[in-house]
Amino acid sequence: MTSAKTLPAPAAPKFASIGSPYFGIMLAVMAVVLILSNIGASKGVAIGPIITDGGFFLFPLAYILGDVISEVYGFKVARKAIMTSFALSVFASLSYWIVIALPGFNDDYGVAKQSALELALGPVPQIVLASLLAFLAGQTINSWILVKMKARSGEKSLWARLMGSSGVGEFVDTLIFCTIAASVIGITDFGMFVNYVVVGFVYKTLVEYLFVPLTSLVIRWIKKREPSYGI
């Protein structure tokens, strides 16, 4: 009678600590991208039949950075990056409120400037709420799936982790964000809303997929230069 062979347990996934400067740089860029995206998202954009918002070209960069942080540093560190970015985003929104509320000059230029600030930055708090809930849910799911997939495959199949996690995360993010932010940017009917959701999801996911080769190169570059990676 032969005994059944037991398969070896998969090796624990490798991650780095956050003692090097690379994480700090990526966290700073993620926070800036998120804050700028929130401002841009207050403007509705129509490119032919395509309906989107002014932050469409920035927001995918935050997810790409989230992928890099999750792959190199792990889920707990990625979650800290998400919460820190949103804390700074909320701080920026509070700063806008204070700037708008401060008494301005009463001349024509001062009145026009105040009106411009209110129109440009006034809707941002609702955009921040939409972005907070959407990015928190989408990026957390994205990071969790990526790390779980890495636990199964180790250092192999990086492209599959990036594409699989991004697709799910972007869908959750886009659906939540568009549902809350649609009224702010002028989406008034269901057809426009569906257009907004579909275009946002397809665009963001496509950008991330197109950048997978570059994201993979960046991840490998950082892994080689992180002294603590795998220790």
- Count CB atoms within 10 A of the CB of residue 155: 13
> What pLDDT score was predicted for residue 146?
94
Cα–Cα distance for residue pair 203/196, rounded to 1 Å: 10
φ, ψ for residue 44, nearest 5 deg: -75, 140
Instruction: State the average pLDDT over residues 93-97.
Output: 87
pTM of the model: 0.81
Chain mean pLDDT for the chain: 86
* 192 vs 71, more confident: 71
pLDDT at 6 over 80: no
In this structure, of 41-50, 102-111, 173-182, the range with the lowest mean pLDDT score is 41-50
Q: How many residues does the chain have?
A: 231
φ, ψ for residue 195, nearest 5 deg: -60, -45
pLDDT at 4 over 70: no
φ, ψ for residue 17, nearest 5 deg: -80, 170
> What pLDDT score was predicted for residue 73?
94
Residue 9 DSSP SS3: coil
> What pLDDT score was predicted for residue 130?
83
The answer to whether the CB of 166 falls within 8 A of the CB of 63 is yes
110-128 per-position pLDDT tens digit: 899 898 888 777 766 777 7
133-163 per-position pLDDT tens digit: 888 899 999 999 999 999 998 888 899 999 9
> What pLDDT score was predicted for residue 215?
92
